[in-house]
């Protein structure tokens, strides 16, 4: 199976959670919008797909994944689809549901991270909501960040397999997602994360374990891994990084 991933070029964004799974599995995939237009890629290819009036199941927004004739949208839904196919989740229904539940919680977390710099509207520039962003970020760092990290740290510690992964005894897609969350938070809030990580040693160790995996390490060192920037979910504004 050759997968086609559709996501905005130039940012990691929500598409990065899917890329990490595809990269870890060594899957055959193409990042369509990053291809040149003369090879059928670019943003126009993405928009043609979304605006297709004949589509019976049109995606609302990227990311979406094309696998043969099947099109799957929404990050958590894509990972639920890819998990058993890429051997990144157990076959047991209970564990697949548990992984999906955790990924949906990651989705909530990511939305709150994004809203620290765009608390009013995504259509406005950060500079148009700077004051509100400061208030939102202060509350996020004081209340929401420790709550989410504490929850995932507790889940990790409660895994009876004791292998250092979120579910069972081997790496799954939720571990890759936790790596991305920790990496992004370190970029966006370096000072706040330096403090928060003191109570999240398990997640820090998980992050490092994922980063050292051969395929992930190769991906992180390659041009396929775009750097964090001021257009994605995780953005660094020094004034939002707490006291």
Domains of the chain: 2-85 (3.40.30.10), 93-213 (1.20.1050.10)
Question: What pLDDT score was predicted for residue 1?
Answer: 86
Digit-by-digit pLDDT tens for the chain (243 residues) are 899 999 999 999 999 999 999 999 999 999 999 999 888 899 999 999 889 888 888 999 999 999 999 999 999 999 999 999 999 999 999 999 999 999 999 999 999 999 999 999 999 999 999 999 999 999 999 999 999 999 999 999 999 987 899 999 999 999 999 999 999 999 999 999 999 999 999 999 999 999 999 999 999 999 999 999 999 999 999 999 987
Return the pLDDT at 92. Answer: 93
Q: Name the one residue in this structure whose structure tokens are 């949906």.
A: 104
With 0.75 as the threshold, say if the pTM is over it. yes
Vertex 60: Cα angle to 56 and 61 (nearest 5): 130
For residue 216, which phi and psi values (nearest 5 degrees)? -70, -40
Predicted confidence at residue 206, as pLDDT, reads 98
pLDDT score, position 15: 98
Quickly list DSSP for the chain.
Answer: -EEEEE--TT--TTHHHHHHHHHHHT-EEEEGGGS-GGGT-SHHHHHHHHT-TT-SS--SSS-EEEETTEEEESHHHHHHHHHHHTT-S-SSHHHHHHHHHHHHHHHHHHHHHHTTT-SS-TTS-GGGGHHHHHHHHHHIIIIIHHHHHHHHHHHHHH-TT-SSSSSTTS--HHHHHHHHHHHHHHHH-HHHHHHHGGG-HHHHHHHHHHHTSHHHHHHHTSTTSPPP-TTSSS---GGGS--
Contact present, 80 and 72 (Cβ < 8 Å): no
- The answer for residues whose C-beta is within 8 angstroms of residue 45's C-beta and 6 or more apart is 6, 32, 33, 35, 37
Describe the strand order of the beta sheet including 2-6 as a list of residue ranges. Answer: 28-31, 2-6, 64-67, 70-73
Burial class (CB in 10 A: 0-12, 13-18, 19+), 135: exposed
CB 166 within 8 A of CB 206: yes
> Crossing angle, helix 15-25 and helix 173-188, to 10 degrees?
130
User: How high is the pLDDT of residue 156?
Assistant: 97
């Amino acid at each position: 199976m050759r997968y086609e991933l559709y996501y905005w070029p130039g940012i990691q964004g929500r598409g990065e959670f899917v890329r990490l799974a595809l990269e870890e599995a060594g899957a055959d995939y193409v990042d369509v919008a990053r291809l040149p237009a003369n090879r059928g890629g670019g943003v126009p290819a993405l928009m043609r797909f979304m605006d297709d009036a004949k589509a019976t199941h049109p995606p609302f927004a990227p990311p979406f994944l094309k696998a043969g004739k099947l099109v799957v949208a929404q990050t958590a839904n894509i990972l639920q689809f890819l998990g058993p196919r890429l051997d990144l989740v157990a076959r047991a229904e209970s564990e697949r549901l548990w992984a999906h539940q955790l990924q949906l919680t990651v989705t909530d977390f990511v939305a709150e991270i994004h809203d620290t710099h765009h608390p009013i509207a995504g259509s406005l520039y950060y500079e148009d909501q700077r004051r509100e962003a400061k208030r939102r970020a202060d509350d996020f760092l004081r209340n929401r960040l420790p709550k989410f990290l504490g929850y995932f740290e507790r889940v990790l510690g409660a895994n009876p397999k004791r292998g250092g992964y979120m579910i069972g005894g081997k790496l799954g897609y939720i571990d890759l997602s936790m790596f991305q969350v920790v990496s992004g938070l370190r970029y966006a809030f370096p000072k706040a994360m330096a403090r928060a990580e003191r109570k999240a040693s398990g997640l820090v160790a998980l992050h490092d374990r994922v980063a050292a995996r051969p395929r992930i390490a190769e991906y992180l060192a390659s041009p396929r891994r775009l750097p964090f920037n001021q257009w994605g979910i995780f953005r660094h504004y020094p004034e939002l990084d707490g006291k």
